[in-house]
């Protein structure tokens, strides 16, 4: 069975790095990460180009708000990018 290609935004932050560790612990091997200098998520043209080239099966984007919200909010932020 093929491991889905998963893009994790914010992989260098506390929440994003925990998500990457969790995915790897679950056996996922096809994880895509980019730093802000490699992919500026506020640049719509760059984001469209990234998605047309990488074609991830799933995207995880968990914005860190506060320590309290991280404890309350589950990490299940996986959503399919296929239409």
The verdict on residue 34 lying in a domain is: yes
Pairing relationship of beta strands 6-9 and 58-61 according to DSSP bridges: parallel
- Tokens in use for 48? 């469209």
Q: What is the residue range of 36's domain? A: 6-80
**Which strand (E) or helix (H) includes residue 68?**
helix 67-72
Number of folded domains that form the chain: 1
Kind of pairing, strands 78-80 and 58-61? antiparallel
In a domain, 1, yes or no: no
20-39 pLDDT, tens digit each: 999 999 999 999 999 989 99
- Model confidence over 43-61: pLDDT tens digits? 999 999 999 999 999 998 8
pLDDT, greater one: 46 or 66: 46
Residue 45 lies in a domain: yes
* pLDDT tops 90 at residue 79: no
Report the distance separating Cα 72 and Cα 83, nearest Å: 30
Look at residue 37 and tell me if it is in a domain. Answer: yes
Tell me: pLDDT of 63 over 50.
yes
């Amino acid at each position: 069975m093929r491991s889905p290609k998963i893009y994790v935004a914010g992989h260098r932050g506390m929440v994003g790095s925990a998500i990457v560790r969790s995915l790897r612990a679950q056996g996922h091997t096809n994880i895509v990460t980019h730093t802000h200098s490699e992919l500026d998520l506020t640049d719509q043209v760059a984001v469209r180009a990234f998605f047309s080239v990488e074609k991830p099966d799933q995207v995880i984007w968990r914005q860190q708000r506060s320590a309290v919200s991280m404890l309350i909010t589950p990490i299940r932020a996986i959503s399919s990018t296929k239409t």
